[in-house]
């Protein structure tokens, strides 16, 4: 792994995301580019959101949802802040924190760095190497960094870092932000730091949009020390989370929903095993592993051309070259059911051979 200073960082399109691969063509393409769980939101959640529409004349009241999230993680309410998706939290952090040396561990979701740059912060990159499986060595992070951001499990590598390694990054005078947007897709949520209150400066971000299919509703939350939560809340506009989103947050924090999310995580893990087994049939395809998230990162020759052929054959995949630390030979694949995977494998054979309509 190596460090890249703000002055020498390559200029990448940090605002490119998977939805761009299917925008306007969603009905025509099988979507492996966006990491939202297929077949969501479930009917019971749709009904709960619909029920909230009768109260839209009133201003949103987030107290019940905040309390539900706090109970879900065994935390006091003052350690919870509801946000319009986890992405809003990155903007709040960039605006509210006084940062002297910001470090983002890459490859990872690019919005944290983009938000920091938009707020006028210089950003130093710690780039993990493919040779090391994109795994984090805490010693690579500068000791004097007062803001460190890392994903777990990491988008797009699907690497799940050990909680003990991330805990080693916490120290007085530093804000350690761990993006756990996909942690509820990990069986047992192993390696999560969400309920830890003993680590100084820890901020954990969660999203409800991936597992529950709520990307269009925008709902996530921050778990942090009360003073940090208060500082971020002051940076928010009034009533930042809509009433339907608050209803979803409350519903998805209940015991029955958590049990459903765990079942979904187990199913996704089995589907991911099937996907990796099918990808192993191709000598030219190398998957990053062990994968722990509802997506896998693969490396293959001429990936850009293959991606376009796949698109012509009806499948959208996420390009990898907009992630710092990756390059044009990478693509990310969302984990889908086995039937979809088998159809994709047949199309991938055509795309690798250079044939397309």
Confidence of residue 1 (pLDDT cuts 50, 70, 90): low
Tokens of 75: 């935390």
- Each residue of 246-258: pLDDT tens digit? 999 999 999 999 9
Residue 46 has pLDDT above 70, yes or no: yes
Q: What is the pLDDT, as a whole number, of residue 17?
A: 86
The distance in angstroms from the start CA to the end CA of the chain is 41
Residue 179 has pLDDT above 70, yes or no: yes
Closest CA to 165 of 131, 128, 219: 128
% pLDDT > 70, the chain: 98
Residue 109 has pLDDT above 90, yes or no: yes
- Each residue of 335-350: pLDDT tens digit? 999 999 999 999 999 9
Residue 355 has pLDDT above 70, yes or no: no
Which H helix or E strand runs over 70?
A: helix 63-73
Count of beta carbons in the 10 Å neighbourhood of residue 170: 19
Per DSSP, the three-state class of 157 is coil
Q: What is the pLDDT, as a whole number, of residue 23?
A: 80
Q: What is the pLDDT, as a whole number, of residue 298?
A: 98
Compute the mean pLDDT over every residue in the chain, rounded to the nearest whole number.
95
Residue 7 has pLDDT above 70, yes or no: no
Backbone angles phi, psi at 132, to 5 degrees: -95, 15
Rounded to an integer, the average pLDDT of 97-102 is 96
pTM of the model: 0.96
- Each residue of 154-175: pLDDT tens digit? 999 999 999 999 999 999 999 9
Residue 27 has pLDDT above 80, yes or no: no
Q: What is the pLDDT, as a whole number, of residue 25?
A: 62
Per DSSP, the three-state class of 177 is strand
Closest CA to 124 of 102, 154, 150: 102
Residue 26 has pLDDT above 60, yes or no: no
- What is d(CA 221, CA 73) in angstroms, rounded to the nearest whole number? 12
For 286-322, give the DSSP string: EE-SS--SSEEEEE-TTHHHHHHHHHHTTEEEEESTT
Confidence of residue 214 (pLDDT cuts 50, 70, 90): very high
Confidence of residue 357 (pLDDT cuts 50, 70, 90): low
């Amino acid at each position: 792994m190596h460090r890249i200073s703000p002055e020498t960082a390559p200029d990448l399109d940090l605002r490119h995301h998977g939805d761009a691969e299917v925008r306007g063509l969603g009905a025509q393409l099988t979507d492996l580019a966006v990491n939202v769980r297929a077949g969501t939101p479930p009917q019971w959640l749709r009904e709960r959101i619909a029920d909230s529409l009768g109260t839209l004349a009133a201003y949103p009241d987030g107290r019940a949802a905040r309390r539900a999230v706090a109970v879900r993680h065994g935390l006091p309410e003052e350690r919870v802040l509801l946000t319009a998706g986890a992405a809003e939290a990155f903007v709040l952090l960039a605006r509210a924190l006084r940062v002297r040396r910001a470090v983002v561990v890459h490859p990872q979701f690019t919005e944290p760095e983009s938000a920091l740059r938009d707020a006028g912060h210089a950003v130093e990159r710690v780039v993990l190497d493919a040779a090391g499986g994109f795994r984090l060595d805490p010693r690579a992070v500068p000791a004097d960094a007062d803001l460190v951001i890392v994903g777990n499990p990491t988008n797009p590598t699907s690497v799940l870092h050990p909680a003990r390694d991330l805990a080693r990054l916490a120290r007085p005078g530093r804000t350690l932000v761990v993006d756990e947007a996909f942690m509820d897709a990990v069986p047992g949520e192993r390696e999560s730091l969400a309920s830890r209150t003993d680590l100084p400066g820890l901020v954990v971000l969660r999203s409800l949009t991936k597992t529950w299919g709520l990307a269009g509703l925008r709902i996530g939350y921050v778990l942090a020390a009360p003073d940090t939560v208060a500082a971020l809340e002051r940076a928010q506009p009034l009533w930042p989370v809509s009433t339907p989103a608050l209803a979803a947050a409350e519903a998805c924090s209940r015991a029955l929903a958590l049990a459903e999310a765990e079942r979904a995580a187990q199913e996704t893990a089995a589907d991911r095993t099937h996907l990796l087994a099918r990808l192993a049939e191709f000598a030219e395809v190398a998957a990053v592993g062990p994968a722990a998230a509802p997506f896998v990162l693969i490396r293959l020759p001429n990936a850009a051309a293959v991606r376009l052929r796949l698109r012509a054959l009806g499948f959208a995949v996420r390009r990898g070259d907009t992630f710092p630390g990756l390059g044009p030979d990478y693509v990310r694949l969302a984990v889908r059911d086995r039937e979809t995977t088998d159809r994709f494998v047949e199309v991938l054979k055509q795309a690798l051979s250079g044939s397309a309509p």
